[in-house]
Amino acid sequence: MTDTIWARLVPELTCASVTDSMRFYCDLLGFQVLYERPENGFVYLCLGTAQIMLEEEHSDAWTVGSLDRPLGRGINFQIEVDAIQPIHDRLRLASIALFREPNEVWYRQDEVEHGQIEMLVQDPDGYLLRLTELLGTRTVSRV
């Protein structure tokens, strides 16, 4: 673990079941466990350089309001992956409904566009995840 580069911003998501969430993130999306504290219902996961913490709901949690389902309304987490298709295949085999099917999109930054294939899916607690496979850049076309 000494080689791990810890991200400077890591979301910690409250979940109903760490076991169910770990199964989703690890088995279907491809995350790996960096460490866990099962006695506290906590796990720290990574996928490449993306990192996320999951904590099971409990009475001493740092919640600032009621946890109505789906959780995470008003936010989506972009997670860069090497390839969308294998994840899409695993989600389909697990009968997980997608929020949005894979789609090629281009986002402008000044005179350059950044391309990606993106797919949106909700985790077991309703957090919206935008998985992206980078396609590269191109010059903005002027019509």
Does residue 4 fall inside a structural domain? no
Domain count, the chain: 1
Does residue 110 fall inside a structural domain? yes
pLDDT of residue 106: 96
Does residue 27 fall inside a structural domain? yes
Torsion of CA 85, 90, 95, 97, to 10 degrees: -40
Does residue 1 fall inside a structural domain? no
In this structure, are strands 112-122 and 128-139 parallel, antiparallel, or unpaired? antiparallel
pLDDT of residue 2: 60
Residue 51 sits in a domain whose CATH number is 3.10.180.10
pLDDT of residue 67: 80
User: What pTM was estimated for this model as a whole?
Assistant: 0.89
In sequence order, the 6+-apart residues with CB closer than 8 A to the CB of 23 are none
Please give the C-alpha separations between residue 81 and each of 3, 31, 97, 106, in angstroms, as whole numbers. 21, 10, 19, 17
Domain containing 102 equals 12-58+75-139
pLDDT of residue 72: 86
Mean pLDDT value across residues 89-96: 98
